[in-house]
Structure 1
């Protein structure tokens, strides 16, 4: 499975992160352990939403959309 996930920083309110992975639990643990340079300084994180896909292309497509301007608006209204 491929997971698109949305994280929110507990230490920096309003700081959010969107990505995708094949191992959601391990990736979430990595974020909170500071192993990702993009998220290390804003840890700890909480998992807000995740969506599972059986198709990698679909997961990557949603991730790209959620990082776009209209995707930000959609996520703010529907997913956060």
Structure 2
């Protein structure tokens, strides 16, 4: 299963859209500063996620949201 997700940084009023196959681990990585594109806006709160059956479906949805 793959997921599209939206993160929100309350401290910096920023939104980040991404996709993953392990949603809990990915949020942890964002908040531990292990993702280069989001480490300067920690902490992140997940405000939306949606599961998809295949990676191609989640990638299409991510492209539409961005």
TM range (shorter): over 0.9
Flag as ranges the 4+ runs of structure 1 deviating above 2 A: none
Instruction: Extract unaligned runs of 5+ from structure 2.
Output: none
More strand, by proportion: 2
Q: Return the alpha-carbon distance in structure 2 between the equivalents of residues 55 and 35 of structure 1.
A: 25
Q: Which runs of 5+ in 1 are unaligned?
A: 68-80
Task: Name 1:37's counterpart in structure 2.
Answer: 36
Alignment size in residue pairs: 66
Structure with the higher fraction of residues in helix conformation: 1
Q: How far off is 1:10 after superposition?
A: 2.1
Question: 2: CA distance between counterparts of 1:11 and 1:37?
Answer: 18
| 1:1-80 correspondence runs (5 A) | 1-13=1-13, 15-67=14-66
Compute the TM-score of the two structures, normalised by the length of structure 2: 0.97
Kindly name which structure, 1 or 2, has the bigger radius of gyration based on alpha carbons: 1
Give 3-state SS (helix, strand or coil) of 1:62's partner.
helix
Higher relative contact order (CA 8 A, sep 6+): 2
